A and B are shown apart, each in its own frame.
Chain A
Amino acid sequence: MEKASPPLRCFRESHSSELFSDDGVQTVTSREQRKVECSIQEVYSVYQQIHTSPQPALLREQHYHYLKKGLRHLSDAYECLDASRPWLCYWILHSLELLEEPVPAAVASDVCQFLARCQSPTGGFSGGPGQHAHLAPTYAAVNALCILGTEEAFKVINRERLLDFLYSVKQPDCSFVMHVGGEVDVRSAYCAASVASLTNIITPTLFDGTHNWILSCQNWEGGLGGVPGLEAHGGYTFCGTAALVILGKEHMLDLKALLRWVTSKQMRFEGGFQGRCNKLVDGCYSFWQAGLLPLLHRALFKEGDSTLSESSWMFEREALQEYILLCCQNPVQLFHRTHNYMHIYIYIYIYIYIIQSISLGTNSMTFYLFLTQSFTHLVYKILIKVHT
């Protein structure tokens, strides 16, 4: 006999006590926050009315069809991502992988050939055929190829030229610009560290000093900003922390301060995460912020911390799950405030991967590995070992 499902956290009586307290002092921040909370309350009430079963579900079929279609065709609304097409490949392939939907061999081959057209003769990958190389599409292309994981995919990458490209964007202060003649911020270090470690091209000098530059991005709040001096921000904090993990230098962060900062970013009412203090919840931070917790868990463990939980990460799983499934999943209601559908998908699926695996009690090592360098990295490394 089935046990009655526990009531959702957001439908509990006490949940309204989590609404934002403005102390009678209204500002732009408090008004914006209250607006979002109101929209979400509407979502909850609509959900309660139309659903007999209280457990929200991941709409796998719909997501699969949406992703499958997008891998081939996208509307003109995506013109603004014409300089980020490898990202579109990566988001879609990663989501399909998480959904455990296979990519047909012909499609995989087409993706390889497309990404090969995005590779610059001077190394690295660009946003589209004929564009200049840039660290972000380089990250996306290399990771997409690793997800495909075929001989053809690995062969696309010109490792020697890639190393040339990485050296060409390295700065005297050990940071990296995103592209030749481009801007610096901590995303670049993560993109560089990720692709260099995946393709095993790290030389003794490539990241010399980079960890110190990244560390200088940690600020008084405990999180990391885009460059030293800037406000702590979820996206940049993930990039900086993950880069340090790849470089083996994460212990040099003030881990306690970082842990306090990131756990504070989970919104008590919405359940999702904000990117910065006193800003609004957004689906994408389900990854950038929540994804930090397994990284920190591992980092603290490596430091000899014996008081870490053996069963959960340090965020409220149910709350995040409800936020994503109830508030982010319906593409008609764009109040869920994500950048575009592709962003939603990757973040949702990474999240669901963590959650499902936790509820099945799977070996937590896979999460450490997954989020340290992403599952694909591990697969690539295994394949490299097998082939050499």
Chain B
Amino acid sequence: SLPPPTIPAGTRLEPTTFGVMSSFYEVLVKCLGHLTSNSINCYLMCLFFYFRDRKEWADLEPVPQDDGPNPVVKIAYSEKFTDVFDMFRALLKNDEKSERAFALTAEAIDLNAANYTVWHYRRVLLQALDKDLREEMNYVTAIIEDQPKNYQVWHHRRMVVEWLNDPSEELQFVAEILSQDAKNYHAWQHRQWVMQEYKLWDGELEYVEELLEEDVRNNSAWNQRHFVINHTSGYSDSSILDREVQYTLKQIKKAPHNESAWNYLNGILQDGGLSSYPGLLEQVTELQDTCSSPYLTAFLVDLYEDALETNSSSYDQQEMLSKALELCKFLAEEKDTIRREYWNYLSRSLQNTYGSGDPVSASSDPPPPPSSSQQPDMEPSDP
């Protein structure tokens, strides 16, 4: 009787990029494995047909990767990976600009979308073959949906948008991606580029507010808020600044432990000075009962520091310093101990700059062994 049908060990039959479920094929292959298991039958089963076996590629000799005789960091590529990239290297070597080359770049991208050399080559082909850029937009849209955290895909999209000089789909597309991950850095980068390049500022503040409504802790949205206002009205107009301060305080009251809102409040008041904004100290102090948080306390420290720095006559300088030091101690010892070193440093700094009396010692810890520590003369000289 016949030996039982087997598939040779190590045979890997992979589905094509047409999205077929591999498990179905594993079953099918097991059933049919006793008939054949070479790559021609893979083709018959619509499984992956290696480029090296395709007759339309027969004229091109694949170029194996030159890793040398004793490779390091050698990756155990799959058969398919090797096949595609051997053929890619052949195309590159001949500088071939053809439809089949273009088709192969899609296979290569599918295997490793981070291969920037392939993307570059694809762009060369797009131009050389005068390919339909609208179709290319569809293609890159699909790839980005699948792999939204990859640098190359977004850069490619940007290039196509530039060639088409058509940003009309961009804001909607980015919004789609952000609806899946509201903080995708590449997405925000693309969005900011589109807006600046094509001057598409309308409606963005409204969009930001929608996002903040969904998640008031979305720091990317707070950053976008700053970006939009900076590039449109700016913050120097007092009615704009008031609107922003009020908006931010409102968000703080909703979620007092939201660091983004506190950082934004600080950020927009830096230029004018925290201690110069009328009534702010009172408003924030009032919040202490219901909205206390380490962020509130830190904000007060910043406010006191600003009063000291500007030597504001509206405040008692001595009081500002003693309050600031008291809060730094409170943060370091109780409410924000993870930042103990920083709050203690800030304390010493304030004392040193604004205090009168003895210079402050840096640390109560035993000093390190006597050495040239903290002396810059051993540093490499500046170029």
Q: Taking beta carbons and an 8 Å cutoff, which residues of A are in contact with B?
A: 18, 20-23, 25, 27-30, 70-76, 78-85, 88-89, 92, 106-107, 110-111, 113-114, 117, 126-132, 134, 178-183, 185, 196-197, 202, 219-221, 225-227, 229-233, 246-248, 257, 259-260, 263-264, 266-268, 271, 276-279, 298, 301-302, 305-316, 319, 361, 363-365, 368-369, 372-373, 377-378, 381
Contacts and interface: CB of A to CB of B under 8 A. Distances in A.
B217 A76 contact: no
B189 A226 contact: yes
* Chain B, interface residues (CB within 8 Å), range: 35 or more
A308 B374 CA distance: 10
Interface of B: 63, 65-68, 70-78, 81, 85, 89, 92, 111-112, 114-117, 120, 123, 151, 154-155, 158, 182-183, 185, 188-189, 192, 196, 214-220, 223, 226-227, 230, 254-260, 263-264, 267-268, 270, 293, 336-342, 344-345, 348-349, 351-352, 359-360, 362-363, 365-369, 371-376, 378-380, 382-383
A132 B65 contact: no
A309 B218 contact: no
A100 to B, nearest CB: 21
Lowest 10 CB-CB distances: which A-B pairs, in order?
A220-B267, A29-B217, A307-B348, A248-B382, A27-B215, A88-B73, A231-B223, A21-B257, A263-B342, A311-B365
Nearest to A109: B70
Contact of A181 (B120, B267, B270, B375): B120
A306 B120 contact: no
A23 B256 contact: yes
A73 B256 contact: no
A80 B341 contact: no
B351 to A, nearest CB: 8
Contacts of A263: 339, 341-342
A182 B363 CA distance: 48
Contacts of A233: 185
Given A131-B117, A307-B348, A314-B342, 9 more contacts: A29-B215, A72-B73, A82-B112, A83-B117, A129-B65, A179-B120, A247-B383, A314-B341, A369-B378
A258 to B, nearest CB: 12
B219 A231 contact: yes
A260 B378 CA distance: 28
B342 A365 contact: no
A79 B81 CA distance: 8
A3 to B, nearest CB: 17
A78 B158 CA distance: 27
A57 to B, nearest CB: 23
Given A89-B72, A305-B349, A277 B260 contact: yes
B116 A134 contact: yes
B77 A307 contact: no
Contacts of A271: 338
A7 B182 CA distance: 39
Contacts of A314: 339, 341-342, 345
A134 B254 CA distance: 47
A329 B258 CA distance: 30
B116 A365 contact: no
